[in-house]
Amino acid sequence: MLQQKYYEEPFLKTFQTTITSKKRDNGQYHLVLAQTIFYPTGGGQPHDTGFINHVPVVDVYEEDDLIYHVVERDIEEQQVLCEIDFNRRLYHMEHHTGQHLLSAVFLDEYGYSTEGFHLGTEYCTIDITTSHLGEEKQKVVEDKVNAFIRETIPITSYIVSPKELELLPMRKAPSVSEDIRIVEIADLDYSPCCGTHLTNTGQIGLLKIIKTEKYKGMTRVYFVCGTKALSDYVDKHSIITQLSTLFSTPESELLTRISSEMEQKRGLELELRKLQEEMLEYKARDIVTENPSSFVSFDWDQGSIEDAQHLASNIMNLGPDTVLIGVGDRLILTHDGTEDFHCGNFIKEHALPRGGRGGGSAQSAQVFFSDAEAKNKFKSYIETIFRSQTHTEKQ
């Protein structure tokens, strides 16, 4: 295909060419150019974006040996200026070439071959044939890859016939009947590939494995390269610097410092819980002393719903059999089970007709009201019933 200028000069950012054909589809225009610097989606690498005569190119695809450039509006001129989003292209090349190198080193060092490759916008992944990749192996591979990067090994690409392919030291030769494009990292890796690549390993700059996870019996390795690896470092450095200031601790001691802070926090939480429980016991005693009755009712906004339920059970341990507590927009009704009374049924029967929503078990129920006045009215209603009648009558 003569169209593929991006193979001859993968670093070309702008290019003058001509439109050779055009078709209209769904309000968009699909242009074919005499030659193009726009890479079409394929081989795991996303398409380039950019402009043709300042009109945005939203998609690039290959069909029947032609490369189509999708633009949102018609371009009348035949002579056009193409401009690609070079940062996007460079990101793709850094990661695609980085992937070839990383896959080659995993195979050479440990015999793990690459079964999957995904080039995302934030990172790149490969799936390698091992169910467990230890930290040590990961470091060996990462160090080796970065050593090859520093060696600035030349990268070339060429088309070979099936016969010529047999003579190449391919790790896994594809069975093809047609000519095929090979990307070679000199003497190190020969891969069949249709992507755009850097011209030497040094241009990858840096490769960092950022995490690994188990994936369908294999290991998925996440990594970043080049400019993305630098921006990842910049972001992480900024976070570490801020943490270091926040904890007034040198970076090297941050981990120990945060671990001990967390341990201290857990201890304080336990201590606080203990004190809260003691406080709820004192509170229960105060309430029962002030209201020596089998039914106790009050408002309480000093704790959570769980605390209120805890407080109610402390109160019942001291004698009263029924407790009504107003907490925010709801009421909690609890009963100690000594009589045939069902809190949930009581709420359903009496609160629902008065605009409340709720329910619960025999010994504990809750009811919500959307306005405070209705809640207070219902609270007074329950108080009247419980203070004037026996429980059996309340049912």
Footprint of Zn ion on this chain (CB under 5 A)?
A: 193, 195
Task: Output the CA torsion sign for 147, 151, 152, 156.
Answer: negative
Question: Toward Zn ion, which CB reaches closer, 98 or 344?
Answer: 98
The answer for residues whose C-beta is within 8 angstroms of residue 331's C-beta and 6 or more apart is 324, 325, 356, 366, 367, 369, 375, 378, 379, 382
Smallest separation, CB 218 to Zn ion (Å):
19
Question: Toward Zn ion, which CB reaches closer, 107 or 374?
Answer: 107
Q: Could you tell me which residues are beta bridge partners of residue 4? A: 36
Question: Toward Zn ion, which CB reaches closer, 60 or 182?
Answer: 182
Q: How far apart are the first and last CA of the chain?
A: 88
Spatial distance between the Cα atoms of 308 and 366, rounded to a whole number of angstroms: 11
Smallest separation, CB 195 to Zn ion (Å):
5
Q: Could you tell me which residues are beta bridge partners of residue 59? A: 70
Smallest separation, CB 155 to Zn ion (Å):
11
What are the tokens at 235? 């972001």
Smallest separation, CB 98 to Zn ion (Å):
11
Question: Toward Zn ion, which CB reaches closer, 189 or 336?
Answer: 189
Smallest separation, CB 259 to Zn ion (Å):
42
Q: Which residue is nearest to Zn ion (CB)?
A: 193
> Percentages helix, strand, coil for the chain, rounded to the nearest 5?
40, 30, 30
Phi, psi of 35 (to 5 degrees): -145, 155
Closest CA to 374 of 347, 351, 395: 351
The answer for residues whose C-beta is within 8 angstroms of residue 136's C-beta and 6 or more apart is none
* Residues 19/81, Cβ–Cβ less than 8 Å: no
CA dihedral 224, 229, 234, 237 (to 10 degrees): 60
What are the tokens at 126? 């490969």
Residue 77 has, within 13 A of its CA and on its CB side, a CA count of: 11
Closest CA to 314 of 276, 273, 285: 285
Question: Toward Zn ion, which CB reaches closer, 69 or 100?
Answer: 100
Question: Toward Zn ion, which CB reaches closer, 195 or 356?
Answer: 195
Smallest separation, CB 44 to Zn ion (Å):
6
Smallest separation, CB 100 to Zn ion (Å):
6
Question: Toward Zn ion, which CB reaches closer, 191 or 309?
Answer: 191
Smallest separation, CB 99 to Zn ion (Å):
7
CA angle 232/237/242 to nearest 5° reads 130
Question: Toward Zn ion, which CB reaches closer, 201 or 309?
Answer: 201
Question: Toward Zn ion, which CB reaches closer, 190 or 341?
Answer: 190
Closest CA to 104 of 199, 159, 186: 186
Smallest separation, CB 96 to Zn ion (Å):
6
Smallest separation, CB 253 to Zn ion (Å):
43
Question: Toward Zn ion, which CB reaches closer, 195 or 358?
Answer: 195
